[in-house]
Amino acid sequence: MLELTMAAVSEAETGATAGMLMADAPSDPGAMLCVGRDRNLCRLAPPDGWLFVSRVHLEFRCGPDGIWTVTWLRGSQSEPSSDVRVLADGSEQSMPYGGYWRIPAGGSGEVVIHDRLGARSVNVGYFHEI
């Protein structure tokens, strides 16, 4: 099972967990959870008007081996208006636009979508239960 928690944080709320949302999915091949502005496609969505987040920004998908990956989907623009970082095992790593990262079994951490033009972020915590 993969469990996600999402907090939308603006400069005025730094350190606070405003807009906390949760979602989970079983670790069945093909299971998917998405983060983005399109509430019809995404289980976790930021506040309205946060345009630095794409309609479908992040896709968490379970592979045939039961291992989850998170992909930063490419949007309609050639250059994104955000940065995405993965925080795991005490380190921080930038995710390339259109790139993916494998979530280790039993792993936990955070994927952060950061607005390049303002002090806002969407923080998605994850826990992959074995």
Q: Rg of the chain over CA atoms, in angstroms?
A: 14
Q: Could you tell me if 21 and 36 are in contact, meaning their C-beta atoms sit under 8 angstroms apart?
A: no
Spatial separation of the C-alpha atoms in residues 38 and 16, rounded to whole Å:
24
Spatial separation of the C-alpha atoms in residues 86 and 89, rounded to whole Å:
10
pLDDT at 47 over 50: yes
- 113: tokens are 């979508």
The pLDDT-based confidence of 28 (bands split at 50, 70, 90) is very high
Spatial separation of the C-alpha atoms in residues 76 and 12, rounded to whole Å:
30
For 55-82, write each residue's pLDDT tens digit: 999 999 999 999 999 999 998 889 999 9
The pLDDT-based confidence of 12 (bands split at 50, 70, 90) is low
19: left (phi over 0), alpha (psi -120 to 50) or beta: left
